[in-house]
Structure 1
Amino acid sequence: MMSKKVICIGEALIDFVCTDVGENTADKEVYLRKPGGAPANVSACIGRLGGRAEFLGAVGDDAFGDYLIDTLKTYHVGVSGIQKVNEPTTLAFVTLQEDGEREFIFNRGADAEFAFPEQDVSKTFPHAIFHFGSATAFLEGSLQDAYFSMAEHCRDNQCLVCFDPNYRVDLWKNRLEIFKAKCNAFFKLADVVKVSEEELQLLTDEVSLDAGCDAIHKLGASVIFVTMGSKGCYLSSRQNTKVISAFKINAIDTTGAGDAFIGAMLYRLASFESVETMTFSELTDAVMFAQKVSATVCEKMGAMTALPTESEVQTREFEVIG
């Protein structure tokens, strides 16, 4: 069976990643330009691994927008659904902490202007997997309307819908309840959900992994992946749960690690008839592969520029933490 196409919807932006070391963000001066945006990263991961990916979103009619389009092309991502708008391309300034974790400052622009395509994308790409990564998609702008409309069309046309809340505290200060309400509405449309351990607690108000996943299953999702950093991944289907150990890495930059994980997962899911027909063992194998891809990304700078090929992942030796 030929692998399905994966359509990734949301923001493409420029990450300016700080290379200065130090505690105070205000004192830092040197930033490297890197292509980014969670759904764009996911599409690039799929393309880099050898899968079929398409990105839908808006960029500015400027040099940064051209750079993002050209970069996605180099990762073999389809770009015919990218809209060029009059707003400048969205920027994110990323400061890395000593443990590899990140702090973000967003300068939002073009991504908010993405408009619902004239032709129903679930019919343009029949039998495709649709991935919605929401770092900016739930903020004000036409992107939010297009995002929900497209997901509803995908559900009505029996396309698989994947959702990653991608919570950024810098974007939702004092508005957490609004974000939670939008996520709950989207959980009802999604077949597959990827959340971090922190997001699971934040969005469900449940402390235990079991209870948190149960809450999301009840809303609609069939399969949930809870990424837990060095503790691995908690895999939850409607019938089974399992903690899958992480691999040892020398973390330099965790930017895009979650995007690489879900990108690699979708790359694997695309080769199956459906998530429902996958055995729990097949889901487990897919998680292990995705964790290897994510681990590899953490050892280099940049979300896209660190992405490996499938052969690079398969030929490398990984050591399990534990």
Structure 2
Amino acid sequence: MNVVCMGETLIDFVCTDQNTSMADSTHFIKKSGGAPANVAACIAKLGGSSLFAGAVGHDPFGDSLINELTQYGVKTEFIKRSLKPTTMAFISLMADGERDFVFNRGADSDFDLTQTQINQLLDNAILHLGAATALLGDTLYQTYLKTAQTAKHNQQLISFDPNYRVDLWPNRLAEFIEKSLEFIKLADMVKVSEEELELLTGQSDLAKGCDQLHELGVKIITVTIGAKGCYLSTVAQKSIIPAYQITPIDTTGAGDAFIGALLFQLAQQPTSDYQTLSEYVLFANKVSGLVCEHYGPMTGLNDYQTIIKTTRALKQ
């Protein structure tokens, strides 16, 4: 089954002066990024079928993004070109690999599809919506909503990741919550961080927060909890799936690699069995952890056999 990943692809300029604020950063390296593009690259690298749908500029950065996605094996026929410059993000890193973002938004906001194109896009597909910029409005948001509503009508699996970035929502937190919940109500599976779960539900308790989202119709919830791993929740069962021991360099794209690895497995063998889902999440934790040992969200991606052969201690 194909996994369609819709949203932004962009250029990440990652500061290599670790533990330095953005204001004091000097040295940057160019990396391909964008949450849904990262997910698509992960799925294709693992050996699955993925397609990225979004917009880039008519510029060398747009060329670079399309070329790299193609090299990973991602289908790119639904990438459109905009007269706006390709979207960029500048990222500075702390000693623990955590990040500070500055966005320069451009072409991704212009993505648009007709209903006929949406129907073609969703043929025999899982839909993943990675929402870092998509909820901000513009044409991309309208396309996002039409596509999600069509997939829901078709009873296709919908995955949603709100990808909250504080720099994108200054004084607009209520709007972010409202729009995220709009898509959560359409989704079968939701991936959030601890911070996002509390923002969306007002609950600091993981179980209570997840139950609140389950009441909206979500069947599977994964809450990434950093070095502890992932909290996996269904209506019937909940538990922490442990992480793998890593030495983080850059956590950019870790969550995207996680959801990519999870969707890769669900596309191969759909399931609602909790034990099987736990095994899927354990594998996804490994994929995500290995990404954190490299600069850039795509650099540390590996093929399926390499991941399987990699042995690390579980972090209890």
| TM-score calculated relative to the size of structure 1 | 0.96
User: How far off is 1:23 after superposition?
Assistant: 3.3
Q: CA deviation at 1:120?
A: 4.2
Q: Secondary structure at the residue paired with 2:247?
A: coil
Q: Which of 282, 288, 300 is equivalent to 2:294?
A: 300
Deviation of residue 22 (structure 1)?
Answer: 4.4
Please state if 1:318 is matched with 2:312. yes
Which residue in the other structure is 2:225 paired with? Answer: 228
Partner of 2:244: 247
Output the amino acid matched with 2:305: S
1:186 & 1:236 partners in 2: Cα distance? Answer: 18
Change (3 A) 1:22 1:281: closer
The equivalent of 1:280 in structure 2 is 274
Aligned to 2:129: 132
Deviation at 1:118, TM superposition (A): 4.8
In the alignment, structure 1 residue 290 sits paired with structure 2 residue 284? yes
* Number of residue pairs matched by the alignment: 316
Q: How high is the sequence identity, in percent, across the aligned residues?
A: 49
**Cα distance, 1:116 vs structure 2:** 2.4
Does 142-151 or 22-31 show the bigger shift? Answer: 22-31
The 4+ residue runs of structure 1 with deviation greater than 4 A are none
Matches within 5 A, 1:36-185: 36-185=33-182
Q: What secondary structure sits across from 2:268 in the alignment?
A: coil
Once the two structures are superposed, what CA deviation does each residue of 1:85-118 show, in whole Å capped at 9, x if it has no partner?
Answer: 1000000001011110000000000000001235
The separation in 2 between residues aligned to 1:27 and 1:35, in whole angstroms, is 23
Q: Deviations over 1:104-140 (max 9, x none)?
A: 0000000000012352424443231000000000113
Two-structure CA RMSD over aligned residues (Å): 1.1
Preserved CA contact (<8 Å) 2:122 2:151: no
Contact 1:48 1:75 in 2 (8 A): yes
For structure 1, the 5+ residue unaligned runs are: none
Paired with 1:119 and 1:315, the residues of 2 have a C-alpha distance of: 43
Distance 1:279 1:21, change over 3 A: closer
- List runs of 5+ in structure 2 lacking aligned partners: none
Could you tell me which residue of structure 2 aligns to residue 258 of structure 1?
255
Equivalent residue letter for 1:39: P
AA at the equivalent of 1:167? Y
Task: Report if the CA contact (8 A) 1:247-1:295 is conserved.
Answer: yes
Q: CA deviation at 1:54?
A: 0.2
Instruction: Tell me the CA shift for residue 7 of structure 1.
Output: 0.2
